[in-house]
């Protein structure tokens, strides 16, 4: 292993031609709208080819401020009319004055590895007609295809849990890189998608400074990591049929796979994992240190419910006329578009037992200090005692999960995450309850994919127990 500033890193000749790739399996992509070929005009195709979709966890179908342009909760990646990928071409070992000259060439994609104040390695890239590249980051500049801002967990959000964006602006303390990562998709079947850390900026450069972790690889090329890193977890099995979490890894600038660093921004890289790749699978998770994205393939999405199907499930739930077992009033799940205000008919649940009730302002445990005069208190404070089974715990409104891409199947909405109350299928709650999501610099915790709230309880979810004149009969 060669780290920044070492004498070994300075040994290559001033310039040399690269092998076809920085990665042992595939070249790196880049942004760039131009293309010299017209092989991608989809002859005979009625619809553009979809490579897959990226879904940001914690937004439940749309951003709090609304989906606008490239800033949205979900983005589909389609085959471009013209290829915009690039691949490594020439590597230069240069002094500082030449670094500035090379980086000022806005027509040339490049990656600069600064080894010292007087020494840098610059890798120039050339056009690749076989790939499409999509860039992801916090920057709103035009070269970013998917603008992602920090996701705020739904804890304390009254059970709604749509992640916020700080009023639609970008947080000054954001830990997401402006040019976080790039995804390169092969333009021919099977349309393999691969992820790489870092993205090209407005000058078509990727710059790794002196403090960034970087090294020379065994085949004489350069590689490195970004400040807070890009983490990826591929599912251990088939995401839909056998949901099971894999192992979180870190992806390098050249797409190689490494074990996690001791902390998120440590300068010492983890161990190279040679038997794993940066190829995205259905259910792969991408963490940008502030937001986590889910990759779904077209085949995987065909097995998830559409918005129309979710609306049908909601109507079927309401058609069964569930009742509060105490007040005997009929309950109804609100429309999928209503995500900010609790409706007076909305069902509530005791998350310790799963008994579904209508809202009532009593049942607080006095020893918890939440009950006021007359035994009442605000809905958002204190544990409640279920009048059906006497179990004590949080009492929250139920919300149907609106983002179909987060579902593992199109099964009936019989379960809810604890403690947020987002309702979906049994397979979906079981699958996500097993997945540890990154939090902070080195912590991991299972969370509701719809709102980002940390899961609590023995299993992180509960089966819902409805009372009513008609029994739900799911197929």
pLDDT tens figures, 367-404: 544 444 334 444 444 688 888 888 888 899 999 999 99
Give the tens place of pLDDT for each residue, 344-365. Answer: 889 999 999 999 998 877 666 5
Residue whose token pair is 């070994």: 8
Question: What pLDDT is stored for residue 376 in this prediction?
Answer: 42
Residue whose token pair is 């001033």: 14
For the ranges 128-142, 371-385, 441-455, the one whose mean pLDDT is highest: 128-142
For the ranges 40-49, 194-203, 236-245, the one whose mean pLDDT is highest: 194-203
**Beta strands per DSSP E along 304-428:** 348-350, 356-357, 384-385, 392-393, 395-397, 399-400, 415-417, 422-424
Strands, sheet with 15-17, edge to edge from the N-terminal-most edge strand = 15-17, 85-94, 119-128, 110-116, 205-208
Supply the DSSP string of 42-105, one letter for each residue. Answer: -TT-SSPPEEEEEEETTSTTS-TT--BTTBSSEEEEE--SS--EEEEEEEEEE-HHHHHHHHT-
Pick the closest to residue 30 from 140, 105, 102, 107 (CA basis). 107
Does the pLDDT of residue 457 top 80, yes or no? Answer: yes
Residue 308: strand, helix, or coil: helix
Q: Average the pLDDT over each of 52-66, 78-92, 299-313 and give the range with the smallest value.
A: 52-66
Alpha-carbon torsion, ordered 435, 380, 396, 398, to 10 deg: -90
Give the tens place of pLDDT for each residue, 67-98. Answer: 788 888 899 999 999 999 999 988 888 876 55
**Is residue 137 exposed (0-12), middle (13-18) or buried (19+ Cβ within 10 Å)?**
buried
Does the pLDDT of residue 416 top 90, yes or no? Answer: yes
Q: Which helix (H) or strand (E) holds 115?
A: strand 110-116
Phi, psi of 307 (to 5 degrees): -60, -35
**Is residue 178 exposed (0-12), middle (13-18) or buried (19+ Cβ within 10 Å)?**
middle
Domain-wise residue ranges, the chain: 7-299, 307-463
Look at the pTM and tell me if it is higher than 0.85: no
Does the pLDDT of residue 111 top 80, yes or no? Answer: yes
> Cβ contacts of residue 51 below 8 Å, gap of 6+?
77, 78, 79, 132, 185, 191, 193
Give the tens place of pLDDT for each residue, 315-334. Answer: 998 888 988 888 888 998 88
Give the tens place of pLDDT for each residue, 189-238. Answer: 999 999 999 999 988 999 988 888 999 888 878 999 998 899 999 999 88
Give the tens place of pLDDT for each residue, 270-283. Answer: 999 999 999 999 99
C-alpha 61 chain-centroid distance: 13
Mean per-residue pLDDT over the chain, rounded: 80
Strands, sheet with 249-251, edge to edge from the N-terminal-most edge strand = 74-78, 50-56, 292-296, 285-287, 230-233, 249-251, 257-258
Cα 333 to Cα 469: distance, rounded to the nearest angstrom: 17
């Amino acid at each position: 292993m060669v780290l920044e500033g070492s004498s070994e890193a300075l040994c290559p000749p001033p310039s040399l031609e690269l092998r076809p790739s920085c990665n042992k399996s595939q070249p790196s992509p880049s942004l760039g709208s131009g293309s010299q070929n017209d092989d991608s005009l989809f002859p005979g195709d009625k619809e553009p080819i979809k490579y897959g979709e990226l879904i940001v966890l914690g937004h439940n179908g749309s951003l709090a401020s609304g989906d606008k342009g490239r800033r949205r909760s979900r983005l589909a990646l389609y085959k471009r009319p013209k290829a915009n990928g690039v691949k490594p071409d020439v590597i230069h070992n240069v002094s500082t004055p030449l670094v500035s000259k090379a980086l000022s060439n806005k027509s040339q994609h490049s990656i600069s590895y600064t080894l010292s104040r007087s020494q840098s390695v610059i890798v120039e890239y050339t056009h690749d007609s076989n790939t499409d590249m999509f860039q992801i980051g916090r920057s709103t500049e035009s070269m970013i295809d998917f603008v992602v801002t920090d996701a705020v967990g739904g804890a304390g959000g009254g059970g709604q849990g749509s992640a916020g964006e700080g009023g639609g602006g970008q947080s000054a303390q954001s830990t997401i890189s402006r040019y976080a990562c790039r995804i390169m998709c092969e333009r021919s079947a099977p349309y393999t998608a691969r992820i790489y850390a870092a993205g090209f900026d407005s000058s078509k450069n990727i710059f790794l400074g002196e403090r960034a972790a970087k090294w020379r690889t065994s085949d004489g090329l350069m590689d490195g990591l970004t400040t807070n890193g890009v983490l990826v977890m591929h599912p251990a099995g088939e995401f839909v049929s056998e949901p099971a979490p894999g192992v979180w890894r870190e992806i390098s600038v050249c797409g190689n796979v490494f074990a996690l660093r001791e902390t998120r921004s440590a300068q010492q890289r983890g161990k190279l994992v040679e038997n794993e790749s940066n190829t995205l699978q259905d259910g792969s998770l991408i963490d940008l240190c502030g937001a986590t994205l889910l990759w779904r393939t077209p085949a995987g999405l065909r097995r998830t419910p559409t918005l129309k199907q979710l609306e049908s499930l909601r109507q079927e739930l309401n058609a069964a006329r569930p009742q509060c077992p105490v007040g005997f009033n009929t309950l109804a799940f609100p429309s999928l578009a209503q995500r900010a205000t609790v409706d007076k008919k909305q069902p509530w649940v005791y998350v310790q037992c799963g008994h579904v009730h209508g809202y009532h302002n009593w049942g607080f445990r006095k020893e918890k200090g939440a009950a006021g005069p007359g035994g009442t208190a605000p809905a958002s404070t204190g544990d409640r005692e279920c009048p059906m089974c006497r179990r004590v715990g949080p009492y929250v409104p139920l919300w149907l999960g609106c983002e179909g891409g987060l579902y593992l199947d199109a099964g009936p909405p019989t379960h809810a995450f604890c403690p947020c109350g987002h309702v979906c299928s049994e397979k979906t709650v079981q699958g996500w309850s097993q997945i540890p999501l990154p939090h902070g610099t080195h912590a991991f915790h299972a969370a509701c994919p719809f709102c980002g709230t940390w899961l609590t309880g023995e299993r992180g979810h509960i089966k819902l127990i409805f009372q009513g004149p008609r029994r739900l009969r799911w197929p």
